[in-house]
Structure 1
Amino acid sequence: MAVYILSNRKIVRHKGERIDSFSNDEYSIPNFRIAKCDFDNYKEPSAQAKKKKDYTNRNILNYKLFSEPEKQGYQDVLDVLLNEKGIKKSGLTANHLGGTQRMFYELYKNMSSTKSRSDVLIFIHGYAYDFDDELKAIIDLKKLFIDNPESPVEHILFVSWPASSSIVPLTYFDDKAASINSGNSLMRLFYFYTQFLKDTFSNRDLVPCNQRIHIMAHSMGNRVLQSMLYSLKRENIVRVIDQVLLLNADVSYKVFEDSEDSFNKLPSLANRISIYLNRKDFVLGISQFTKNILTPRLGKNGPSHIEPFKEVISIIDCTYIEDDLLNTLKFDVGNHWGYLSSSQVQNDIFQNLNGIDRNLISNRLKNNENIFTIVT
């Protein structure tokens, strides 16, 4: 099990500390830095500890930033792996690897060492998260997707981008700009991953682990994904993703149209795309009428045109779900966080990630070929 943070947040060194940390500042740097979360020594904090002003950063969850690699490319990873197999002698060890080299090395080692499902979930959060909020979200996601036996996920890559910490409406536009910058960083990471695959598996002594990678984007996290797809050249797209889950997506309902040239690339990137929407989504309603010039949102209204992609895209209507896990006013009124608040939505997501045929997923009412409603 491993949880990584991929962040283009500013790096700071807090007073009295000797190690670098991610900042809460609403400022992005050009490239992602990578950190690994330490759950070995994690202890659930008391309610009193959570109220303290010093319940921030590593007091929430400890993590360690990887060093930057000494040189680009993945030849060093290949040398380490072959040396460990006794095929090629090398003075390099895993401790010489940095950044994506270290992360990809660790994931490959873990995912190829088991015959059971050991999937990776790439999660992109939404609007109004500071870094402390992200650390709390990572803890929740670990409980939901790694600790839960119904889920095939064993590793999480949490995409941390510098969203505003305030929910004041004007900060929404700051988040839109930050999401675009972060999407460009995510695109570079995608190219690094495809380069790792080419460099590593061009050697016949190493074989793919045959595990699966999924992408889940919530709310404005879909705009980060959209920004990545804008920049992604079609000739460079490799089908390396199994499932893409778009949760309450705060992007235009037209994103799958050719004129947008963004989400219409997803069917070339992934095996299956699922759009989870809620027609009572109050948050997306505000987004539509106050910030997006009355443009319907994908996560509230569904897509405008997906006819060419009906075989791989499913629409899952969550309008009638029950918030039986989290039922505070925020969740009851917002109707925007079903993946956290509803066991029905979670059950549907788990079946999706396990690769069950969309027509066989339980507690769904089939409306037509690719549109379903979650029912009790």
Structure 2
Amino acid sequence: MLFITNRFPKGSIQTRAGRKFEFDLKNNAPSNSVFFCRRNADGSLTEVGGMNFLSELKGSSYRQILLYIHGFSNLPDSVFEAAEEFQALCDQQDPNEVLVVPIIWPCDNDLGIVQDYWDDQKSADGSAYSLSRALSRFLEWRESNLNSPGTDPCLKRINVLAHSMGNRVLRETLCAWDRYDLADGVPLIFRNTFLVAADIENESIHRTERAKLICDASRNVVVYYASDDLALRASKAANLKNKIASRRLGHTGPENMDMTPKNVYVVDCDDVNNSYDVPKGHSYFRSGKVQGKPGLVFEHIYGCLKTGRVFPEDEQRRSTIIRES
């Protein structure tokens, strides 16, 4: 499995293709560098380097790429486990359709959810600078493929799935990219962007707010939410303790749909989230009630990946409720 990380490795931060890569789990500061790596079948990690990584993606037999940005308090092993589960579910549907590529940012491993939460918010914000450089590298590589004689362009569709605080990472990465590297707004580079159990303010997806750049960079933006998501209740309590009073996007959906861009769609998962992820109801986008069997939320996500449309039966529709039959 290929992956991208801005976690510090043990040893040198100097990129060297082919070297053994080990995470320094005691260091949860965001690195200014970004590392392009592979997790091997035996669980070992190898750094492959940026150009080799992009060339391998281009040469892959998969038609689409799904960048997976995990939530808070997730160490690398748990991220790989989640990504491998999602990959297996995709392969059950259509082999060689969707390749999952995790983006691993530095979460804390302190004990206590509130301590983790605030440390991880800082790491999420700090990760924006290195991850935005990864996007710049991708654009440079894509342009060089387009303009080099005898070189075929990369035609794979790129999608993003951000879970929980990974939505904050995505939002801040695009803001940093827009501020420091781009001349006139972010380009349209993502076919679908899935905001699952998003731990950002529920008004932040409005046209006048920071997450509007997610909409600018995407053909479709699909928000999955559940009002009884217990992990987001803890997030809300932590924010209230620090005098930040705002409901979370993953609890309510957008504050006002009339103020969101037209390419934003919402999916109410309240009827299935707790039965898919007992008891928190937070990671409900992979398996359903039976591990390894796709849930209805996954099936909706995969339908969007496959068709490029959120509601192909009704192009004017912008919301739905997922219910067990």
TM-score after normalising by structure 1: 0.73
Is 2:244 the partner of 1:242?
Answer: no
Is 2:173 the partner of 1:222?
Answer: no
Q: 2:300 pairs with 348, 361, 372, which one? A: 348
Is 2:107 the partner of 1:159?
Answer: no
**Given that residues 33 and 65 in structure 1 are in contact (C-alpha distance below 8 angstroms), is that contact kept between their aligned partners in structure 2?**
yes
Partner Cα distance (1:152, 1:271) in 2: 22
User: Partner residue of 2:221?
Assistant: 273
Name the CA shift for 1:158/1:253 in 2 (closer, same or farther; >3 Å).
Answer: same
Q: How far 1:322 moved relative to its partner?
A: 6.2
Larger Cα-atom Rg? 1
Residue 169 of structure 1 aligns to a residue whose secondary structure is: helix
User: Partner residue of 2:238?
Assistant: 290
Partner Cα distance (2:170, 2:65) in 1: 17
**Given that residues 10 and 21 in structure 2 are in contact (C-alpha distance below 8 angstroms), is that contact kept between their aligned partners in structure 1?**
yes
TM-score after normalising by structure 2: 0.84
Residue 143 of structure 2 aligns to a residue whose secondary structure is: helix
Partner Cα distance (2:301, 2:218) in 1: 16
User: Partner residue of 2:254?
Assistant: 303
User: Partner residue of 1:21?
Assistant: 22
Q: How far 1:309 moved relative to its partner?
A: 4.8
Equivalent pairs counted in the alignment come to 301
Please give the per-residue CA displacement for 1:220-248, whole angstroms capped at 9, x wherever unaligned: 01110111122132615221211000000
**Residue identity in the other structure for 1:282:** L
User: Partner residue of 2:280?
Assistant: 334
Structure 1: gaps of 5 or more residues:
43-60, 67-98, 112-116
Q: 2:124 pairs with 179, 182, 203, which one? A: 179
Partner Cα distance (1:19, 1:282) in 2: 38
Q: Which runs of 4+ in 1 moved over 6 A?
A: none
CA RMSD of superposed structures (Å):
2.4
Partner Cα distance (2:39, 2:104) in 1: 13
Partner Cα distance (1:295, 1:341) in 2: 30
Name the CA shift for 1:348/1:151 in 2 (closer, same or farther; >3 Å).
Answer: farther
Q: 1:65 pairs with 47, 51, 57, which one? A: 47
Partner Cα distance (1:151, 1:163) in 2: 32
Residue 232 of structure 1 aligns to a residue whose secondary structure is: helix
Name the CA shift for 1:310/1:177 in 2 (closer, same or farther; >3 Å).
Answer: closer
Q: How far 1:350 moved relative to its partner?
A: 0.9
Structure 2: gaps of 5 or more residues:
12-18, 289-294
**Residue identity in the other structure for 1:315:** V
The within-5 A match list for 1:1-376 is 3-12=1-10, 19-25=20-26, 26-39=28-41, 42=42, 61-66=43-48, 99-110=49-60, 118-145=63-90, 147-150=91-94, 153-165=97-109, 166-233=111-178, 235-260=184-209, 262-292=210-240, 293-307=244-258, 309-321=260-272, 331-342=277-288, 343-355=295-307, 357-360=309-312, 369-376=317-324
